[in-house]
Amino acid sequence: MTWFRRLLRIDLTRQQATVEEIPTAFIEAFVGGKGLGTYYLYREIDPRVDPLGTENKVFIAPGALNGTLTPAASRYEMVTRSPLTGLYLDCNAGGHFGPELKLTGHDLLILEGQSPQPVALVIEGDVVQFRPASHLWGRSIYETETALRAELGDPRFRIASIGPAGERLVKFACVSNDYSRQIGRGGLGAVFGAKRVKAIAVRGTRTLPVADPDAFMDAVDAALRHIFENPWVPHKREHGTIGSLDDNHTLGIVPVYNFTRSVFEGIDRVDSTVFGKLVEARLACAVCPVACSKGTRWRGGSESDGIEGPEYETAALLGLNCLVDDPQDIIHANLLCNQAGMDTISAGVVVGMVLAAVDESLISWDELGLSLDMSRGEMVTRLLERIARREGIGDLLAEGARAAGEALGFPDLAPQVKGLEFPAYDPRVSPGMALAYMTSDRGACHLRSYPFGREVSGVLPWFSLEQKAEFVKRQQDEKAAQECLGVCQFPYGIGLLTDDLPNLLSAASGEEWSYERLCAVGERIWNLSRAFNAQLGVDRRADYLPRRFSEVPMPDGMGAGQALSRADQDWLLDRYYCLRGWDDRGLPTPETWEQLGLGGLADLPTC
Amino acid sequence: MPPHIEVDLELCTGCRTCEQVCVFAHEGVFGPVRARIHILRRGVLTFEAKVCTHCAEARCVAACPTGALARKGNKTVFDAGLCTGCGECVQVCDLLFWDEERQQPLICDLCARCVRRCPEKAIRVVK
């Protein structure tokens, strides 16, 4: 019930697929999605494998509630060792691919080895086809998806693919499904590229029963009621995530010009009212009643040049962070990233970093292959094209902000933690977001915990350190649990598991699932990912913000004068480690490991 | 025009709640593979809805060799007991779908549960 308890192991080297049973104990401890993916990663790969080598694997897991009517149960997970950070990576995406994958009858898909030739995996129930894909190699995400679906002759296939950036091993290449939904962060597209997997097409041929259909539909109705009572929902239905851009700019947290300031003179030209007028379609992921996705089209292109977005992060980072104030330039940059298959967050940070470095005379226009007579928008698109092709300076920028900053002699300009570029919140303006970035399992991330909303609404004291460690730790556990279920964070209030999600899982599975039991799953995942990273040398020393965010206060806006000193960061980390049951170095202790029931499931490494 | 389900593509967001509602209503399980309505992605921003229009022309009825598909008043109805699973019906019309498990066609019976549960109120029964 709600699980098939089967995994599909794809040996790319030998072009063989085998089905294995997933033991009940694993499902009880890790549920699905992020949990199952993380656990199998921990079991099956040596953390030191080359992320782009044949030994690395990709664990692809739909959530436990994917494939049902659970509102917004659209998200699936990929877990691997990241080529961008060299550490644990998990990433999820919405759209329709996840539920379709689940309904092929599998709770987990493991890609291992390396295909001798470019391949498209076609999975229809238990039938797996290794389809030669050399003719698709080099083609964009949109072209690949359209062409492959036409070849397969059934419009019900859902497709995830990589673009030219993934093929060329750009370290922040993404995997994209349903045209415009991305497994965005950390370079999973490059791992696919190294394995020569151009695409995966899935068609669910199975049906999925739930244990107690009446109780399940009651739980669906209760969840829908709560979703529509959530005051956040009408705003996101109408405006999408970009609706937060104006407010966040007013609050002083949107990064401007490589996170050097927060006031952008051109905000009126790229605010949500401007983008609102460009919306041509409202789109939803599977079974989502919110439909936060807003479709726009680049007017310089053809009919087919549509995107879902730009989302908040994209508009902020490819826009304000690069001093771009023309909405069409932002849409164009977003489209280029979509087509090449690149993470718009990392791309916006890398490009913003080198543009700002010119002003500090650390690099020249000439070295970037740009000239002053170009518009900002043109500069951004030129650099994005070079990154996607690894051409000229693009070859270096394709390595990510940390590596590029080091190679170009300005490592401290790179806004990153553990090698993952900051999303669009300046951590100086939110001690909560700072701690979320510092402690995120995959490097700087706004999706593991999002305290900023609670800080500005007054639930948490904004510029204070108090209560932040408690909030971040608890929300990380809740969100990890949510990512095991495959439901989107937005309709449910960003990770705060009300009774709805435990009730839905209980009714679907026929077992008793409580909030506490789900949080314990989340906590297990956070300990496994930390233990994985610890074997790669991660401890407290890797948990700080780059120096400039503690030494250079925010110069303007509502957060003017704010910075987070090293002592403040230590204060937060001490509390956070204590709440996690980790030692002073920030590593899980044997007592914590046993207490979480990890003892019988995985070994705690000695580091 | 006979009564039928109509999807307003200006309002539809492509969430496919209708497909899951349809399967649950008729089969008590989930999985769009057995849905009688489908929302298909045609492009990055565009969809297409497929559901029986109960058209008077009823090529499916004409193609059915056993009378399992028949016209009853304004509706096309299906009698599973008469169906031999030949599949002629889905060859002549793409608004019927093939149930791979039962080897029979799936055709909208106008139960209208999808209408009630569409979060965008994009589906209606045209009388």
CB-based contacts of A273, cutoff 8 Å, min separation 6: A246
Distances in Å between the Cα of A298 and the Cα atoms of A143, A163, B104 are: 17, 19, 44
Q: How do residues A89-118 score in pLDDT, each as one tens digit?
A: 999 999 999 999 999 999 999 999 999 999
CB-based contacts of A373, cutoff 8 Å, min separation 6: none
Distance between CA atoms of residues A417 and A394, nearest Å: 22
Q: Is A433 helix (H, G, I), strand (E, B) or coil?
A: helix
Out of B29, B101, B119, closest to residue A289 by CB: B119
Q: How many residues in chain A? A: 607
Fill in the DSSP letter of residue A337. Answer: H
What is the set of domains in chain B, with CATH numbers? 4-126 (3.30.70.20)
Q: What share of chain A is helix, strand, coil (3-state, %, to 5)?
A: 45, 15, 45
Q: Is B84 on the interface with A (CB under 8 A)?
A: no
Task: Sort strands A293-297 and A281-283 into parallel, antiparallel or unpaired.
Answer: antiparallel
How would you classify residue A464: left for phi > 0, otherwise alpha for psi between -120 and 50, otherwise beta? beta
Q: How do residues B66-91 score in pLDDT, each as one tens digit?
A: 999 999 999 999 999 999 999 999 99
Distance between CA atoms of residues A122 and A161, nearest Å: 12
**Alpha-helical runs (H) found in chain B:** 17-27, 59-63, 88-92, 113-117
CB atoms within 10 A of CB A75: 29
Q: Is A159 on the interface with B (CB under 8 A)?
A: no
Question: Hey, of A1, A69, A182, which one would you mutate to test binding to chain B, going by the most B CBs within 10 A of its CB?
Answer: A69
Q: What is the pTM of this model?
A: 0.98
List chain B residues with CB under 8 Å of A304: 43-44
List chain A residues with CB under 8 Å of B13: 282-284, 288, 291, 293
Pick the CATH number of A235-418 from 3.40.50.300, 1.10.287.1770, 1.10.8.640, 1.10.569.10: 1.10.569.10
Q: Which two tokens stand for residue A305?
A: 């040049």
Question: Hey, of A2, A140, A283, A293, which one would you mutate to test binding to chain B, going by the most B CBs within 10 A of its CB?
Answer: A283
Fill in the DSSP letter of residue B98. Answer: E
Strand partners, A127: A124
The percent of residues in chain A predicted with pLDDT above 70, rounded, is: 100
- Provide φ and ψ at B121, rounded to 5°: 50, 40
Out of A69, A207, A281, closest to residue B45 by CB: A281
CB atoms within 10 A of CB A13: 12
Say whether the ipTM exceeds 0.90: yes
Q: Which two tokens stand for residue B125?
A: 């029964």
Question: Hey, of B34, B36, B37, B45, which one would you mutate to test binding to chain A, going by the most A CBs within 10 A of its CB?
Answer: B45
Q: Is A339 on the interface with B (CB under 8 A)?
A: no
Instruction: Give the pLDDT band of residue A496 (cuts 50, 70, 90).
Output: low
Of the candidates A556, A437, A513, the residue with the CA atom closest to the CA atom of residue A70:
A513
CB contact under 8 A, A155 and B40: yes
Pick the CATH number of A430-490+514-595 from 3.40.50.1980, 3.40.50.1700, 1.10.599.10, 1.10.1530.10: 1.10.599.10
Distance between CA atoms of residues A503 and A219, nearest Å: 6
Domain boundaries in chain A? Answer: 6-203, 235-418, 430-490+514-595
Kindly state the average pLDDT of the residues A215-241.
93
> Would you identify the CATH topology of the domain A6-203?
Aldehyde Ferredoxin Oxidoreductase;  A, domain 1 (3.60.9)
Q: How do residues A422-467 score in pLDDT, each as one tens digit?
A: 999 999 999 999 999 999 999 999 999 999 999 999 999 999 999 9
Task: Sort strands A197-203 and A119-124 into parallel, antiparallel or unpaired.
Answer: parallel
Q: Is A213 on the interface with B (CB under 8 A)?
A: yes
Which residue do the tokens 């309002």 mark? B11
